[in-house]
Amino acid sequence: MFILYSSAALVLGCLIDRIVGDPHGLWHPVQGIGWLITRWESFLRKRFPSTPEGERHAGTLMVFLVIACTLLPSGLILLLCSRIHPMLGLLVEALFCGWLIAARSLEKETRRVTDALNQSLDEGRRAVSMVVGRDTENLSEEGVVRAAVETVAENTSDGVIAPMFWMAIGGAWFGFFYKAVNTMDSMVGYKNDRYLNFGRSAALFDDVVNFIPARISGLLMVLAARILPGFDGRNARRIYFRDRFNHASPNSAQTEAVMAGALDVQLAGDAYYFGKLVKKKTIGDPIRSIEREDIVRAHRLMYMTELLALILFTGIKLLIFALVSMAA
């Protein structure tokens, strides 16, 4: 029954995210995870020596503490609700699933970049600075659009398909596990002076939990580019297999490569972070110049990839359920 229960929760969660999105003005579980990370970082830094080794040990311990402090309350809430009534448990599970999927919020935040660019380049730079980690003060309009498209591409995996993958395996509880790891990476997984050692374990663990989902995301996005009109599906496949490792992270370029190929544009390349130039390989070929409308096109590709992932994950779960039922 868990297979049917978690499948229904995942489908409902995708619908909740698509129709309702994240709650506004209310507490969000990811905010709680962020609060835990901040508090544990402050606590552990005071108790471990400020040496490379001490910071690595503190960062590793923080990974386990944040995961434990995330899984314990979320697991208790899910268990308590299901014990009160199965339908209440399903409703809460679906609500959590919807909150852990970030497709609608990703669309909303990057659509603001387009709206801001319609006002001025400075407004566009400010808008995109809210969703990327690079320095944006001196970006051209193409640079602003490129940063937004890259964010949609990368987070199609990190914020949409990866949490769906983990929730397909273990329900919302596994979704919280993934979100704890991914949020730690986004908060402390930087290669700067402050987090080079402290955030190393979080960054490595994030690479591990995203390894399979990133590749599933890339392949599904290739299929999405072949299905949707207006995308270069053949080039998406070609660039995926050519450029999917053109990134320091083993996972980030998987979907960026497909996006670049599907749009016939070039992504990535050198960027400034905290005032320092970081040399990066380019992804894709500059068949045409990137334009504002590519942000909306990236949204379309993201949503089709999400739909294909939902069909794939629920289909596999229902097949397993049928086989188990037949065996019984």
Provide the pLDDT for residue 211: 97
- Pull the structure tokens for residue 54: 């001490």
C-alpha 72: how far from chain center: 23
Tokens 């014990």, located at residue: 83
Residue 100 scores a pLDDT above 80? yes
**Predicted local confidence at residue 87, as pLDDT:** 94
DSSP symbol at 246: -
pTM above 0.85?
yes
The pLDDT tens digits for 21-51 are 776 656 788 889 999 999 999 999 999 999 9
pLDDT digits (tens, 9 = 90+) for 286-321: 999 999 999 999 999 999 999 999 999 999 999 988
Return the pLDDT at 272: 79
For residues 305 and 165, the answer to whether their CB atoms sit within 8 Å is no
Query: CB neighbours of 12 closer than 8 A, spacing ≥ 6?
Result: 90, 94, 97, 98
Asked whether 41 and 198 are in contact (CB, 8 A), the reply is yes
Question: Cα–Cα distance between 235 and 237 in angstroms, integer?
Answer: 5
Give the pLDDT confidence score for residue 135 in this predicted structure.
Answer: 86
Residue 138's pLDDT is 87
Q: Stretch 186-197: mean pLDDT, rounded?
A: 89
Q: What's the pLDDT score for residue 25?
A: 57
pLDDT tens digits, one per residue of 135-184? 888 899 999 999 999 999 999 999 999 999 999 999 999 999 999 999 99
- Taking only the tens place, the pLDDT of each residue in 246-288 is 988 889 899 999 999 999 999 988 887 777 888 889 999 999 9
Q: For tokens 């050198």, name the residue.
A: 270
Characterize the bridge pairing of strands 271-273 and 282-283.
unpaired
pLDDT digits (tens, 9 = 90+) for 227-236: 999 999 999 9
